[in-house]
A and B are shown apart, each in its own frame.
Chain A
Amino acid sequence: MEIILSIAIGVMTSCGVWLILRPRTYQVIIGLSLLSYAVNLFIFGVGGVKTNVPPILSEGGVDGVLADPVPQALVLTAIVIGFATTALFLVVLLASRGLTGTDHVDGRGDKR
Chain B
Amino acid sequence: MNGWSHHLIVAPILIPLAAAAILLFIDERQRVAKAMVSLASTLLLITVAFILFRIESGPNGYEGVYLLGNWAAPFGVVLVLDGLSALMLLLTASVAVAALVYSLARWHAMGSHFHSMFQLLLMGVNGAFLTGDLFNLFVFFEVMLAASYGLLLHGSGQLRVKAGLHYIAVNLAAALLFLIGVSLIYGTAGTLNMADLAARIPEMEADRRMLMEAGAGVLGIAFLIKAGMWPLCFWLPTAYSAAAAPVAGIFAILSKLGIYIILRLTTLLFDSGPSAGFGSTVLLYGGMATLIFGTIGVLASQALGRLAGFSVLISSGTLLMVIGINDGAVSSGALLYLVSSTLTISAFFMLIELVERSQDAGANVLAVTMEAYGDADEDEPEEGDGVTMPGTLAILGTCFAMCGLLLSGLPPLSGFIAKFAMLSAMMGTGAIGVPPTVAVWVLIVLVILSGVAALISMTRVGIRTFWTSLEGTVPRVLVIEIVPVMFLLGLTLLLTVQANSAIQYMDTTIRTLNTPSIYIDAVRNATIVPGVDSDAGEGN
Contact residues of A with B, CB < 8 Å?
20, 25, 28, 32, 35-36, 39, 42-43, 46-47, 70-71, 74, 77-78, 81-82, 84-86, 88-89, 92-93, 95-96, 99-100, 105-107
Give the contacts of B126-158 with A (CB-CB under 8 A).
135, 138-139, 142, 145-146, 149-150, 153, 156-158
Given contacts A35-B176, A77-B135, A81-B139, whether A92 and B186 have CB atoms under 8 Å apart is: no
A81-B139, A85-B149 given. 19 additional CB < 8 A pairs? A32-B169, A32-B172, A32-B176, A35-B173, A36-B176, A39-B176, A42-B183, A43-B179, A70-B192, A71-B186, A71-B187, A81-B142, A84-B146, A85-B142, A86-B172, A89-B168, A95-B156, A99-B157, A105-B166
**Interfacial chain B residues near A85, Cβ < 8 Å:** 142, 145-146, 149, 168, 172, 175
Closest-by-CB residue of A relative to B162 is: A107
**Interfacial chain B residues near A36, Cβ < 8 Å:** 172, 176
**Interfacial chain B residues near A70, Cβ < 8 Å:** 186, 192
Closest-by-CB residue of B relative to A94 is: B161
Expressed in whole angstroms, the Cα–Cα distance for A71 and B175 within the complex equals: 16
- Docked-complex contact B184 and A89, CB < 8 angstroms: no
Given contacts A35-B173, A85-B172, whether A105 and B183 have CB atoms under 8 Å apart is: no
Partner among A25, A43, A47 whose Cβ is within 8 Å of the Cβ of B165: A25
Is there a chain A Cβ closer than 8 Å to B182's Cβ?
yes
Expressed in whole angstroms, the Cα–Cα distance for A92 and B161 within the complex equals: 7
**Interfacial chain B residues near A25, Cβ < 8 Å:** 165
How many A-B pairs have beta carbons closer than 8 Å: the answer is 85
B371 to chain A, nearest CB (A): 15
Expressed in whole angstroms, the Cα–Cα distance for A28 and B186 within the complex equals: 29
The interface size bin for chain B is 20 to 34
**Interfacial chain B residues near A81, Cβ < 8 Å:** 139, 142, 146, 175
- Docked-complex contact A74 and B146, CB < 8 angstroms: no
Is there a chain A Cβ closer than 8 Å to B164's Cβ?
yes
Partner among B149, B158, B166 whose Cβ is within 8 Å of the Cβ of A88: B149
Is there a chain A Cβ closer than 8 Å to B214's Cβ?
no
**Interfacial chain B residues near A96, Cβ < 8 Å:** 161-162, 165
Expressed in whole angstroms, the Cα–Cα distance for A7 and B142 within the complex equals: 29
- Docked-complex contact B173 and A42, CB < 8 angstroms: no
A15 to chain B, nearest CB (A): 14
**Interfacial chain A residues near B175, Cβ < 8 Å:** 81-82, 85
Partner among B161, B166, B173, B183 whose Cβ is within 8 Å of the Cβ of A32: B173
Subset of 29 A-B contacts with CB under 8 Å: A28-B169, A32-B176, A36-B172, A39-B183, A42-B183, A43-B179, A43-B183, A46-B184, A46-B187, A71-B186, A74-B182, A74-B183, A77-B138, A81-B175, A84-B146, A85-B142, A85-B175, A88-B168, A92-B149, A92-B153, A92-B164, A92-B165, A95-B153, A99-B161, A100-B158, A100-B162, A105-B165, A105-B169, A107-B162
- Docked-complex contact B180 and A42, CB < 8 angstroms: yes
**Interfacial chain B residues near A42, Cβ < 8 Å:** 179-180, 183
**Interfacial chain A residues near B153, Cβ < 8 Å:** 92, 95
- Docked-complex contact A74 and B186, CB < 8 angstroms: yes
Given contacts A84-B146, A92-B149, whether A78 and B179 have CB atoms under 8 Å apart is: yes
Expressed in whole angstroms, the Cα–Cα distance for A77 and B150 within the complex equals: 21
A108 to chain B, nearest CB (A): 10
Closest-by-CB residue of A relative to B156 is: A95
**Interfacial chain B residues near A100, Cβ < 8 Å:** 158, 162
Expressed in whole angstroms, the Cα–Cα distance for A38 and B175 within the complex equals: 13
A16 to chain B, nearest CB (A): 9
Closest-by-CB residue of A relative to B374 is: A107
**Interfacial chain B residues near A93, Cβ < 8 Å:** 165
**Interfacial chain A residues near B184, Cβ < 8 Å:** 46
Smallest CB-CB A-B distances: 3 pairs: A46-B187, A43-B183, A99-B158
Given contacts A46-B186, A85-B146, A99-B158, whether A74 and B165 have CB atoms under 8 Å apart is: no
Closest-by-CB residue of A relative to B164 is: A92
Expressed in whole angstroms, the Cα–Cα distance for A37 and B138 within the complex equals: 17
A47 to chain B, nearest CB (A): 7
Expressed in whole angstroms, the Cα–Cα distance for A86 and B145 within the complex equals: 13
Expressed in whole angstroms, the Cα–Cα distance for A89 and B175 within the complex equals: 14
- Docked-complex contact A92 and B168, CB < 8 angstroms: yes
Given contacts A42-B180, A46-B183, A71-B186, whether A20 and B142 have CB atoms under 8 Å apart is: no
Closest-by-CB residue of A relative to B187 is: A46
Expressed in whole angstroms, the Cα–Cα distance for A36 and B169 within the complex equals: 12
B222 to chain A, nearest CB (A): 12
B4 to chain A, nearest CB (A): 31
Given contacts A46-B186, A46-B187, A92-B164, whether A77 and B172 have CB atoms under 8 Å apart is: no
**Interfacial chain B residues near A46, Cβ < 8 Å:** 183-184, 186-187
